[in-house]
Amino acid sequence: MALLLGCIADDFTGATDLANNLVREGMRVVQAIGVPTAPIDGVDAVVVALKSRTAPVAEAVAQSRAAAHWLKEQGAPQLYFKVCSTFDSTPQGNIGPVAEALVELTGARCVPVTPAFPATGRTVYLGHLFVGELLLSDSPMRHHPLTPMTDANLVRVLQAQCVRERVGLVTQRDVAAGATPIAQRLDELAGQGVRLAIVDATSDGDLRTLATAARELPLVVAGSGLAIGIPAQHGLAPSAAAAALPPAQGGRAIVSGSCSAATNAQVAQFKAQGGAAFAVDPLRIAAGQDVAAEALAFVRPRLAAGTVLVHATAEPDAVRAVQQQLGAERAGALVEATLARVALGLVEAGVGQLLVAGGETSGACVQALGLTRLRIGPQIDPGVPWCHAPERSLHLALKSGNFGGVDFFHRAFTLL
């Protein structure tokens, strides 16, 4: 059976976020780690998870093209390029360059673009992205160590990244009028030579309306929010069977590399409740000390007593101080490599339930574990499901740094 939908995600947590919404609306979904080398049967959608959000532009484009070609070969009539709900990117990309490449590959006339996900507080109004009640540029995302977001005007942000295509806007007035006015506005923009259009969305209803308007389009670019309206376009309805996973077993552990405000609060509460935690110091890694081995020596004897945490999570001022000494890229690479070694060591020590916080950290850990695909299971919080990796009989949750309530760590394992 041909795929109903083919998805390309620019990081691993974003991939599970998207897959989670599709599963909750009734689609059977597998998340592939990198571009698959063989067909995947028995599913409605495949989400190809790439580690391309902060990769060099040419590399990100090449990976995304390869994923798109594979998905088209599997018969997917529509491609979904999944980007972060806070539009994480730099002035160089990678959202714009990848979107332009996919426009060329699909022949799309005008592609709707919206990172809106109201369930997690991300809304778009008059082309401006809000995080809760704050403009993106006033939110904690302005301090992101790799992709600081200092402009909330998405038309301006995306246009700065595009070389060939013009960027337009579909406002709330058109969205509120219904699917047909949205489609008409996209056609109007296409006639003006506009190939990418930011679309306002302030509610789930807006996203479902946009999904209807985009039903026949070959390409959409969005956060995971738009996914809530897509399964219904194929006659599917929510089903508990779509999220069924094998029973969980083994030890419990958390690996956190995110420095977002949400993850900082989650780490702080875990420690306040007496959880066993080991803090990773990038400066000690840079000095040549085997911090991964130290972390594993600390947590292994504590696994039998409960959940353990290894984290590089820190407040923005501390992160900036480290980056000033090591450089942002080097600091990030050192932490990712160390936490990936820790994740592998934890699983080899008997951990069967692993929660990873942070997009870049999740990508590094999944690759270190040698995973090739994940079955998507029940939702912990909006945007974050449990998954199952059959290669290691491992239950895995990949959490975007910005997602989850303060008690997320506790509730995640309670759900299993």
Q: What are phi and psi of 381, to 5 degrees?
A: -140, 165
CB atoms within 10 A of CB 48: 24
Nearest to 402 by CA among 171, 189, 147: 147
| pLDDT of 55 | 92
What is 245-371+383-415's CATH topology? Molybdenum Cofactor Biosythetic Enzyme; Chain A (3.40.980)
- For β-strands 29-33 and 45-49, DSSP reports them as parallel
| pLDDT of 243 | 86
Nearest to 397 by CA among 372, 351, 362, 346: 362
What is 5-242's CATH topology? Rossmann fold (3.40.50)
| pLDDT of 94 | 96
What's the CA gap between 249 and 231, in Å, rounded? 31
| pLDDT of 57 | 97
DSSP one-letter string for 370-406? T--EEEEEEEEETTEEEEEEGGGTEEEEEE-TT-S-T
Parse the chain into domains and list their residue ranges.
Answer: 5-242, 245-371+383-415
Q: What are phi and psi of 270, to 5 degrees?
A: -55, -45
- Give average pLDDT by consecutive 10-residue segment, the chain, 416 residues: 92 91 93 94 94 94 98 97 94 96 98 96 97 95 89 97 97 98 98 98 98 98 97 93 91 96 96 97 97 98 97 92 93 96 98 95 94 92 92 95 93 94
pTM of the full structure: 0.84
Q: Which two tokens stand for residue 311?
A: 């984290």
Backbone CA torsion sign across 206, 230, 384, 38: negative
| pLDDT of 305 | 96
What's the CA gap between 327 and 312, in Å, rounded? 16
- Residue labelled with tokens 């780490």: 267
Q: Which two tokens stand for residue 116?
A: 């809106």
* pLDDT, tens digit, 9 for 90 and up, residues 78-118: 999 999 999 999 889 999 999 999 999 999 999 999 999 99
| pLDDT of 1 | 62
* pLDDT, tens digit, 9 for 90 and up, residues 123-136: 999 999 999 999 99
Q: Which two tokens stand for residue 137?
A: 């540029």
Mapping DSSP to helix (H, G, I), strand (E, B) and coil, where does residue 111 land?
strand
List helix spans (H) across 273-327. Answer: 282-286, 291-299, 316-326
Q: Which two tokens stand for residue 309?
A: 């945490």
**What's the CA dihedral at 217, 218, 221, 227 to 10 degrees?**
70
Residues 6 or more apart from 71 whose CB is under 8 A from it?
3, 6, 7, 8, 46, 48, 79
